[in-house]
């Protein structure tokens, strides 16, 4: 069971997950609010329930790239969106992360442990990035946050363009 949990933790660290959760964390930290953590967790649970119903292929990876591009662009523009927009982005990102990390386990308890591990990794990464971004108080630090967000946005747009060009 612990091995399945650790496998779930490791499974979270895909580039699409990191881009979306990183951009969302920067957006949350820029607004200096931690409100969207609950919608993100709710999205993780909803996505895990949908995965449990044996959904085959989902456009979750494409959705994660679009969320990363949008959230990153909002950070680059230094525009703090309304709370409901942050919450909707967090809900969509949570659901897409769960849908994009289906468990590869033979038993139901192992699959649940993997989903819990991926959820813990996602929430931990989101909180860590949001905390770091919220501590950026000096102007040069805020520029650094915007530079990182621009890299995330550019990466997400490039991968999204390659994915959609097929």
The crossing angle, in degrees rounded to 10, of helices 108-134 and 83-99 is 140
Q: Are 126 and 13 in contact (CB under 8 A)?
A: no
pLDDT digits 0-9 by tens, 74-125:
999 987 667 788 889 999 999 999 888 887 777 888 888 888 999 999 999 9
- Give pTM, 2 decimals: 0.89
Which of the four pLDDT bands, split at 50, 70 and 90, describes residue 145?
very high
Domain hosting 56: range is: 2-164
Domain count of the chain?
Answer: 1
Top mean pLDDT of 10-19, 45-54, 97-106 is at 10-19
**Distance between CA 78 and CA 47 in Å, rounded?**
30
Q: CB-based burial of residue 157 (10 Å sphere; 0-12 exposed, 13-18 middle, 19+ buried)?
A: middle
pLDDT of residue 16: 92
Q: Which residues contact 135 (CB under 8 A, 6 or more apart)?
A: 29, 141
Name the residue with tokens 């996602």. 122
């Amino acid at each position: 069971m612990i091995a399945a949990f650790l496998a779930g933790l490791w499974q979270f660290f895909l580039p699409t997950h990191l881009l979306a959760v990183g951009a969302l964390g920067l957006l949350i930290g820029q607004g200096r609010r931690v409100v969207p953590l609950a919608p993100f967790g709710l999205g993780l649970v909803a996505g895990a329930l949908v995965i449990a119903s044996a959904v085959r292929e989902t456009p979750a990876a494409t959705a994660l790239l679009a969320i990363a591009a949008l959230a990153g662009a909002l950070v680059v523009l230094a525009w703090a969106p309304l709370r409901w927009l942050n919450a909707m982005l967090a809900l969509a990102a949570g659901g897409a992360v769960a849908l994009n990390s289906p468990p590869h386990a033979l038993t139901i308890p192992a699959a649940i442990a993997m989903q819990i591990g991926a959820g813990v990794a996602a929430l931990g990464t989101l909180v860590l990035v949001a905390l770091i971004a919220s501590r950026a108080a000096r102007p040069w630090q805020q520029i650094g946050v915007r530079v990182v967000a621009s890299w995330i946005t550019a990466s997400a747009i490039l991968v999204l363009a390659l994915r959609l060009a097929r």
